[in-house]
Structure 1
């Protein structure tokens, strides 16, 4: 199940949902830091005060004003010498000017009223030839799956294999142990064939009272733990309430179209 694609995650507006095999995690957006784990396996990212921590790019003549998820530079109306240029990588960049990063020549950075914003090039492998900034477009940097010879991964792509996360890096495969999700139960279950342990149905465990998280709520409708039901917005999706989450199970075969 892809919790991120199905919006079944608990990430906040200050974080981005990153899907993993069997679980997900929340990554703080730019301008926030954390995350701070909570009992719902979500995260709470807090705003970075770039002004207080001197992490802004305002010119010394301008005033840094912290905002939620960022900052802005302010010049008093009566000021004559105040500038909206950016101080970036020990150099001054005028407002409206785009420069390359000294540490990453593939990254272009633009100054807008004292705030610098950088982005990587958008690589369209169908239209542009491969270069140093778009190695994923070079078929010479592709990796072949460890067992499926017909499956190729381009540079930068990731996949799961034998309880490991693998990445293709310039034609070489680098794998590391698959990260498992944090658990809120004291006695997790590690089923044969599973890469990660998991919690059973909390309502069926003797350590929990019957009223502890015994229901799921989906789109304002409450369901009992263990019950199965159709997604009210998609009749082709069957759901099951498995405390503490409602998880998508399978597609209803009656909705499949023979091709």
Structure 2
């Protein structure tokens, strides 16, 4: 197979050489050799970083001062000492380091948990010399739960509902009307449905301001809802027939709107147009 023979020759001449494994490269003691396809480089070891010169042999790798950069895990009662390629946490002379914390000028032992004096709903703990604070986790199954911090655990409040305005509260079973809807509080959940209105049997109706249900009126021009009969038409000022429900701008004006309401012409002037 000539194709396979050519590929074998190609791989023989062009396969990657691992300079690191073959010992062709000597990196600086602060770096380690990393093989790349067709090349290699000396990468800085942990605890070192390049000083910006990027020398191929790794001579540009310098020590990282973890004590100055804050990249250390020393507890509050220990002192950080920088070492070549690392650091050490040491106790000051005459001290017995325990990983305790200082909080509000008070000693808190490692693992101790306490409630903040300024916020009884926040819990703090000392963990290896570090103070960690968070919001109290509410466990409503705990009979000793602080209801001030966990109002959702109060059985008296859990069944109450908040009005849409965010100011009023209702007990379970209470009803109220909001935006022409009948609402009810059901075990802490608000359920609303359209307000039922009594039937009206008239041609022209209007819903008065502040009310939800329509009322009958005799003047068609006062009505906001009508049962349009397309067989009833209106004749405008130019003797043009207009179907019931249609509207038009009165001739010779720009701000007068007319409408045909079941054979009755009703015109009004738009004050914003003037």
* TM-score (normalised: structure 2): 0.29
Greater helix share, structure number: 2
Greater RCO structure (CA 8 Å; 6+ sep):
1
* TM-score (normalised: structure 1): 0.31
